[in-house]
Structure 1
Amino acid sequence: MVLFQPHGGRSQAEGDALLALVTQGLLQAAIFNPDDLDATFENIKASGAEIIEEPTSQPWGVQDCAFRNPSDNLVQIAQA
């Protein structure tokens, strides 16, 4: 399931490349934007999820974290 338009705000070439990755199943992530990343992370951690990355401030201005769900899907949560 794609929750965004691959070409939204991207060049045609970038959108095509992103769409090709998603269609092939090579981009396996869901990205969410909560109101409170730290509280959301603590809830996920308490559930026993496999933590991939604790909340980290990224140089492009967001804070994000990542974990794997029970089906081994990568889930990334970001807060701008």
Structure 2
Amino acid sequence: MIAIANTQLWVHDQEEALRFYRDKVGMEVRSDVTMPEMGDFRWLTVGPPGQQDVSIVLMAIPGPPVMDDETAKQVSELMGKGFAGTVFLTTDDCRKAFAEMKARGVEFVEDEPEERPYGIDVGFRDPSGNHLRLAQLNADFG
């Protein structure tokens, strides 16, 4: 059997991303390890409470030799436009989660959650520009 363990988002600043996902979105830290033997590479993951088998890696954009300066710049520009990836989060009550997250300082790209053919959802972006959707799915889509 193959299972998803981690997915990755590029971030400009791991500390800023950590504060956002932990303090505003409500995720918990799964791992935060710095490896000096790999040039102080930091493996930082967060995930939703109660869903221990999936984590989001908050990955700093690497420099050479992993990524040349031009590629790093392109990744950064795509992030700023919201096109470096999307994370879909689900909840049992989209409007309640929206209100809670908004009260914690999450800035949404839409004024309110909206009814859609698949359920109720609303979009927001993280400080690096990554696009996220928060959805309450209908039974047919859940």
- With the shorter chain as reference, the TM-score category is 0.5 to 0.7
5+ residue gaps, structure 2, are 1-6, 9-53, 55-78, 138-142
2:124 to 53, 67, 75: 67
C-alpha contact 1:49 1:70 (8 A) present in aligned 2 = no
TM-score by length of 1: 0.59
> Which consecutive residues of structure 1, in runs of 5 or more, have no partner in the other structure?
4-24
Aligned 8 A contact 1:50 1:67 in 2: yes
The share of aligned pairs that are identical, in percent, is 31
Look up the match of 2:113.
Answer: 55
Query: TM-score normalised to the size of structure 2?
Result: 0.36
Give, in whole Å, the separation in 2 of the partners of 1:76 and 1:41: 11
Residue 55 (structure 1) shift? 0.3
TM-superposed CA distance for 1:27, in Å, is: 5.4
Q: CA RMSD in A?
A: 2.2
Q: Which runs of 4+ in 1 moved over 6 A?
A: none
Determine which structure has greater relative contact order: mean sequence separation of CA pairs < 8 Å that are 6+ residues apart, divided by chain length. 1
Matched, 1:36 2:86: no
Secondary structure of 1:48's counterpart equals coil
Answer yes or no: is the 8 Å Cα contact 1:65–1:76 preserved in 2.
yes
Q: Distance in 1 between matches of 2:127 and 2:104?
A: 11
Q: Encode CA deviations 1:42-77: one digit per residue, 9 max, x unaligned.
A: 11111222211220001x231101111222211101
